[in-house]
Structure 1
Amino acid sequence: MSENTVNEPVTAKRVNPRLENYKMIWKRLKKNKAALIGGYLIIFFILVAVFGPYLLSQFGQYGPYQQNLLNKLQGPSAEHWFGTDNFGRDIFTRIIHGMELTLWIGFLSVLIGMIIGVPLGIISGYYGGRIDNIIMRVMDVLLAFPGILLALAIVSVLGGSLQNVIIAVGIFSIPAFARIVRGSTLSVRKLEYIDAVRALGASDFRIIFKHILPNVMSPIIVQATLRIATAVLTASGLSFLGLGAQPPMPEWGAMLSAGRTYMYEAWHVAFFPGAMIVLVVLAFNIFGDGIRDALDPKMKQ
């Protein structure tokens, strides 16, 4: 027996190029186990920063500023997981509250650098000529100073505070974004479709925000991820020197500075804040490297 088959028209499935690109990036990223570990750690740190202080206020026994001089410099125990500092404050509670400060400094300072540096880089690369020379010479002046020294000079002028640290780290992040975006803009500007769009009468504003900016987002994302680690390390260094967050704020750099006096008799006072700084910086660095390889596989080669 033969069966009659009806040939139905086959409709091509519409493919979203942007969605497929995201899937390909995620597929490459999953192959990098170290980057995944870094990404999971970052998510964990963000969750701790958002929900940790609230949970401690509801279920914890100690506050970040609560002192008990009778229990000062106590080692890790079931009552005090990370021990107590020289004022008898619970180090674990202070580290959880310090997570919010640390990530806030990192994200906000990098955001400041992006908001200023990315437009400067695009304008410099797109228009070129005298505008390019002026912007890049200013960036060269800022890059002539090591990042920590530039931030130290800015904080010394503005005064030691958490807000001034964020401003200082944001300022020294501007040249990094400006230079990398300028280089990417120079490459995109030479593409033929940019000339075609310009020939059709598109304005510079439309070309920059609709055609150039989306094509330079990959290096911006990579630079932002890696820059957060640098911002956290720099802010902790300034606080360690007494120019950042002021006591009794539970900032890790300030806690590390206070704990160095007691390293021989109470190692835990300096160890746990220092270990948290290392973990956060390491997580952002390895995740940033993984993002770079996933967005541009040729970089790995």
Structure 2
Amino acid sequence: MGSTVNQSPEREEFAKPESRFKSLLKRMIRNKSSLIGACILIFFLLIAAFAPFLMTHDPNSTDVLNDFQGPSSENWFGTDHNGRDIFSRIIYGTHLTLYVGTVSVAVGAVFGIVLGLLAGYYGRILDSIIMRVADVLLAFPGILLALAIVSALGPSLNNVIIALAIYNIPVFARITRGSVLEVKDVEYIQAVRALGAKDAKILFQHLLPNVSSPIIVQASLQVATSILSAAGLSFLGLGVQPPTPEWGAMLNSGRSYMWDNPHLTLFPGIALVLVVLGFNMLGDGLRDALDPRSKK
């Protein structure tokens, strides 16, 4: 009498593949540069978000009897030539600095990406026109081009954003065009085109996601450049106008007294360096994390 053995097919378990975002996040955490940069930026984002609760004084309140005071328990970073609390002015100016940098890059990226997609996909005359205009704009150093635009429009926060956005347009257009030229003739794009997909769908649903990596990296690096340019314009008196606390304007107002009272320029300068350093380190980490050649 034989016994029958019921053999059930073995169930093979496969690990669920990680999402692209989760994989990118893990790679960035392992990258010390991007981790430090992200921590610096999160620190300043929190300062900008909770600025009203962190300020110890009114940033525009003057007290001429307490001007040029050094760092103390009452005024952590000292006071300027008008007796205003430097710590509170730096805290207040954080959101201005981040706002100008991110908005100018975002506006420039939107127009630049669209122009780059059109130039790379259609080519020929349209490509020549867009790229020649971009070459003309890129022939000028960024700060000089922004200086010329702000001089024509007038000194103000919005005009600084417009000037920096105009400079950022050809940067993103050139990067996007180069990436599109590399992938527009690959098999899956040809297949989508053969199925009758419209150009708009090919551009924004198929090409753009596949060329986004260098754009993201450039955006993080470009924010640092825009912040420096905005501070430079304010330092020259063409950016945010007094008494609004902005780091570049604070450097300008304190440079006449920096030898006798170095705290007037020291603390705004350190804040500016840290923010730019944070964006640059984050950009370097993103470049390593998004580079397919570095994946194991």
Bigger mean CA offset, 62-71 vs 7-16: 7-16
Deviation of 1:29 after TM superposition, in Å, equals: 1.7
Matches within 5 A, 1:198-217: 198-217=193-212
2:32 pairs with 1:33: yes
Give the Cα–Cα distance (whole angstroms) in 2 for the partners of residues 174 and 69 of structure 1.
45
**SS state of the match for residue 271, structure 1?**
helix
Report what 1:10 is aligned to: 11
Deviation of 1:190 after TM superposition, in Å, equals: 1.5
Report what 1:186 is aligned to: 181
* Same amino acid, percent of matched pairs: 58
Give the Cα–Cα distance (whole angstroms) in 2 for the partners of residues 45 and 237 of structure 1.
20
Contact 2:230 2:239 in 1 (8 A): yes
Contact 2:56 2:88 in 1 (8 A): no
Contact 2:33 2:284 in 1 (8 A): no
2:44 pairs with 1:55: no
Alignment partner of 1:248 out of 223, 233, 243: 243
C-alpha offsets along residues 212-247 of structure 1, whole Å, 9 cap, x if unaligned?
011011111111100000000000000000000000
Report what 2:69 is aligned to: 74
Give the Cα–Cα distance (whole angstroms) in 2 for the partners of residues 278 and 144 of structure 1.
27
Contact 2:80 2:264 in 1 (8 A): yes
Contact 1:292 1:299 in 2 (8 A): no
Bigger mean CA offset, 216-225 vs 231-240: 216-225
Alignment partner of 1:289 out of 264, 284, 288: 284
Give the Cα–Cα distance (whole angstroms) in 1 for the partners of residues 209 and 130 of structure 2.
22
User: Relative to 1, partners in 2 of residues 1:5 and 1:34: Cα closer, same or farther, differing over 3 Å?
Assistant: farther
Matches within 5 A, 1:101-120: 101-120=96-115
Give the Cα–Cα distance (whole angstroms) in 2 for the partners of residues 5 and 27 of structure 1.
44
Matches within 5 A, 1:48-197: 48-52=47-51, 54-56=52-54, 60-197=55-192
Bigger mean CA offset, 60-69 vs 260-269: 60-69
Structure 2 residues not aligned, in runs of 5+? none
Q: How many residues align?
A: 292
C-alpha offsets along residues 125-149 of structure 1, whole Å, 9 cap, x if unaligned?
0000100000000101101111110
Report what 2:44 is aligned to: 45
Report what 1:237 is aligned to: 232
Give the Cα–Cα distance (whole angstroms) in 2 for the partners of residues 21 and 6 of structure 1.
39
Report what 2:23 is aligned to: 24
Deviation of 1:50 after TM superposition, in Å, equals: 1.2
Give the Cα–Cα distance (whole angstroms) in 2 for the partners of residues 27 and 46 of structure 1.
22
Structure 1 residues not aligned, in runs of 5+? none
Deviation of 1:209 after TM superposition, in Å, equals: 1.2
Deviation of 1:124 after TM superposition, in Å, equals: 0.2
Deviation of 1:14 after TM superposition, in Å, equals: 7.8
Deviation of 1:26 after TM superposition, in Å, equals: 2.3
Name the amino acid aligned to 1:158. L
Deviation of 1:298 after TM superposition, in Å, equals: 3.2
User: Relative to 1, partners in 2 of residues 1:299 and 1:166: Cα closer, same or farther, differing over 3 Å?
Assistant: farther
Give the superposed CA RMSD: 1.9
TM-score normalised per structure 1: 0.93
Report what 2:222 is aligned to: 227
Deviation of 1:83 after TM superposition, in Å, equals: 0.4
